Structure 1
Amino acid sequence: MRCFTPRLSAAGNGVWRGFRQMYEEYALWRDRRDDERYTAVSEEGEEGITLSNRRICANPNACPRSVLLVPAECIVEALRRERRGGVTADAVMFDLTCCRGSRGEARDNILRFLQAEEKGEKRGEDMSGGQCSHDDDRGRYLIRVNSPEFDSANGFLDMELAAVLGERIEGVLLPAVTVNTYSLVEEYIHPSHHLWAFFDTPLSVVQASEICRQGHYRYAVMGSRRLAEDLHLPIGGITYGDTYRGDNNSENATPAALLGSLPLLNSSLQVLLAARAFNMNILDDAFEDASDTAGFSRDLHLSRSLGFEGKLVINPAQLASCHAAFAPSAEELSWARGVQQRMARRYAKEESAGKLEAAQWRRAACLLERHREEELQGAAPTQRDGGGGVE
């Protein structure tokens, strides 16, 4: 029998201990995830099933109404503007795809910011009232990486950053997603990460059902801006967000607007159907012109009407309108409370819920959480804090 040297044996033992520690960390994360997942349906009461008591901006299991896109080069400045605006985004996404300077410096900037956040230099300092406090919970941070499939040089460096960040971020948005994307990035994904699939190319849309069927992705995001370019739509032409002119009455939609909206609308519906078929949350792309409030209002109305659950935003000034647009209506609240009461009676009788009831409860819980968030934001005046200086 071959005898290994003491140094080689020690190295082998070290590798084994490393693998064992990784497995124990994964098992701990899995148990915590399952605890959080079933908290919403674990308690009975006269008023129904107990909801999570965490704010949306601190609950990684809640679908965000808004995701603020922040260039990775100027994180601190962007979050200062958000704080001064008086409304906190449900999640913040650091964007590595639109770097004007060094991409390496942008990655370092994300790491430095999150390390400072971990040490207690909170994004939400000096916030109260309608703002989301992060005293007990870290903020929800994500990164948008370059495509490892179509821009491998930058994409894999971005994924290495995601691996290093680990639990400091909630998840990763993968652009130009295809059926092969997950196999390229799975080694870089932390067990706690939620994956976001960005459908912004014709191939992504065509493969939407296969991608969603894989079960690797928690969120789908419609990428209309790049998709319009890849579809060779007229530059500066009409997109489906411009279908309504002046108000939200579909009778005022012009034939030209309807015709121009069809390619993107058809693509959006394909992705929506695929996401819904496999129980994924879905959000809409950002509205480019932050100064066009009327256009943004029309875009929000259409996103909500189509069934999107949230939206990417590029400017903190868009957050209040975005949250208002995705607030539940009176009819939706009435339905959600009815589902809550039915589920409470089922659990009181120790009856198991079927797949249909479970899906209804997930939808109802989302609506009730958003209604509570709206009440919390309206219960106290928002504080506009100029802390952080002027850019």
Structure 2
Amino acid sequence: MAATARPRRSVLYMPGSNTRALEKGRSLPADGLILDLEDAVAPDAKAEARATIKASIAAGGYGGRELVVRTNGLNTPWGYDDLVMAASSGADAVLLPKVESPDMVRQAEAVLRANGSPDGQTIWCMMETPLGMLNTKEIAGASPKLGGLVMGTSDLAKDLHAAHTRDRLPMLTSLGLCLLAARAYGLAILDGVHLDLNDDAGFGESCVQGRELGFDGKTLIHPKTIAACNAAFAPSEEEVAQAHRIIQAHAEAVAQGKGVVLVDGRLVENLHVENARRLVAMAEAIDALSS
């Protein structure tokens, strides 16, 4: 399923067992919410969290925010029931943990479809293990219902025995493999979380790096990071203004029978116009979501 201009600058994890948090999510400026049944929920609270998430989505009030349910894996006692609930929950997407093969995607898809998952409900995959990295291409092409990849950099760093450095050099190979696969198959892709909530500078650097690498946005663990994340991943006013200049100048050049034109001293051709249109569409989508 091809990626759209839907904003995904900030996507906040929320524990599915916390009713107050789910209520607060209705007023937060995040582009999306991941309603979590996996890591954030204790084993004896899984069933209750499942019911809480379904009731919260049914109650509405989340506006244009993208709602994603993260399930437990099918190899756990809770994964099947999670998928059954998610299929009819009204969630925009279902996030599968620790995806390592295309078969894991297809098995989950079969359960979702058998339980009434609508065509518009997509599957997202957590990419967080070495085997998942090695199979990224096959996972990204596993199903037309696939909508996005989400980096699970904490688990990945653990399995790689890698350090969480500010430049994330130990994980660049993995990040790059997932970005390549996402773009090749037209999927959205979200960067992993930044764990140190007292490290504002480091968080800002990770947002800038994530956008420079090509991520659509970042997953978050606390509401206080939403505003900075939104600012980092949104096109700036200057970028949008330049994009409009590029589109207009190129259109005028084409009308004169020219294929290229100079804008602000730089050579512009069709590939730059495509990117300019993408930026303008995203800016318009962000404005619509904000309103």
Q: CA RMSD in A?
A: 3.3
Q: Contact 1:196–1:218 (CA<8 Å) still a contact in 2?
A: yes
SS of the aligned residue for 1:291 comes to coil
Number of the residue aligned with 1:62: 6
What is the alpha-carbon distance in structure 1 between the residues aligned to residue 249 and residue 185 of structure 2? 24
Number of the residue aligned with 2:98: 176
Matches within 5 A, 1:369-380: 369-372=281-284
Number of the residue aligned with 1:226: 155
What's the TM-score, normalizing by structure 2? 0.79
Q: 1:365 to 1:106 in 2, by over 3 A?
A: farther
What is the alpha-carbon distance in structure 1 between the residues aligned to residue 70 and residue 249 of structure 2? 40
Larger proportion of strand: 2
SS of the aligned residue for 1:147 comes to coil
Number of the residue aligned with 2:233: 326
What's the TM-score, normalizing by structure 1? 0.60
What is the alpha-carbon distance in structure 2 between the residues aligned to residue 164 and residue 287 of structure 1? 32
Q: In the alignment, residue 232 of structure 1 is paired with which amino acid? A: H
Number of the residue aligned with 2:244: 337
* 1:204 equivalent among 132, 135, 143: 132
Q: Contact 1:174–1:198 (CA<8 Å) still a contact in 2?
A: yes
Number of the residue aligned with 1:16: none
Alpha-carbon shift at residue 75 of structure 1 (Å): 3.8
Q: Contact 2:243–2:279 (CA<8 Å) still a contact in 1?
A: yes
Number of the residue aligned with 2:263: none
* 2:88 equivalent among 160, 164, 169: 164
Q: Contact 1:200–1:224 (CA<8 Å) still a contact in 2?
A: yes
Alpha-carbon shift at residue 190 of structure 1 (Å): 2.7
Q: Contact 2:128–2:152 (CA<8 Å) still a contact in 1?
A: yes
Q: Contact 1:215–1:278 (CA<8 Å) still a contact in 2?
A: no
SS of the aligned residue for 1:319 comes to helix
Alpha-carbon shift at residue 364 of structure 1 (Å): 4.0
Q: Contact 1:212–1:274 (CA<8 Å) still a contact in 2?
A: yes
Q: Contact 1:63–1:281 (CA<8 Å) still a contact in 2?
A: no
Q: In the alignment, residue 142 of structure 1 is paired with which amino acid? A: V
Q: Contact 2:149–2:189 (CA<8 Å) still a contact in 1?
A: yes
Q: In the alignment, residue 280 of structure 2 is paired with which amino acid? A: L
Q: Contact 1:82–1:316 (CA<8 Å) still a contact in 2?
A: no
Matches within 5 A, 1:246-257: none
Q: In the alignment, residue 239 of structure 1 is paired with which amino acid? A: H
Unaligned runs of 5+ in 2: 256-268
What is the alpha-carbon distance in structure 1 between the residues aligned to residue 78 and residue 272 of structure 2? 38
Q: Contact 1:68–1:93 (CA<8 Å) still a contact in 2?
A: yes
Alpha-carbon shift at residue 63 of structure 1 (Å): 3.8
Q: In the alignment, residue 123 of structure 2 is paired with which amino acid? A: L
The structure with more radius of gyration: 1
SS of the aligned residue for 2:38 comes to coil
Q: In the alignment, residue 148 of structure 2 is paired with which amino acid? A: Y
Alpha-carbon shift at residue 262 of structure 1 (Å): 3.5
What is the alpha-carbon distance in structure 1 between the residues aligned to residue 80 and residue 278 of structure 2? 34
Alpha-carbon shift at residue 174 of structure 1 (Å): 1.2
Number of the residue aligned with 2:46: 103
Q: In the alignment, residue 268 of structure 1 is paired with which amino acid? A: L
* 2:190 equivalent among 283, 290, 308: 283
Q: Contact 1:63–1:366 (CA<8 Å) still a contact in 2?
A: no
Aligned residues: 268
Number of the residue aligned with 2:169: 262
Q: 1:369 to 1:76 in 2, by over 3 A?
A: farther
Alpha-carbon shift at residue 286 of structure 1 (Å): 1.3
Number of the residue aligned with 1:46: none
* 2:109 equivalent among 186, 192, 195: 186
Listed one character per residue, the Cα deviations across residues 289-332 of structure 1 (whole Å, up to 9, x for unaligned) are 22321221121121112111101111111111001101224674
What is the alpha-carbon distance in structure 2 between the residues aligned to residue 307 and residue 71 of structure 1? 28
* 2:67 equivalent among 130, 137, 141: 141
SS of the aligned residue for 1:92 comes to strand
Alpha-carbon shift at residue 372 of structure 1 (Å): 4.0
Q: In the alignment, residue 10 of structure 2 is paired with which amino acid? A: S
What is the alpha-carbon distance in structure 1 between the residues aligned to residue 164 and residue 82 of structure 2? 31
Q: In the alignment, residue 182 of structure 1 is paired with which amino acid? A: V
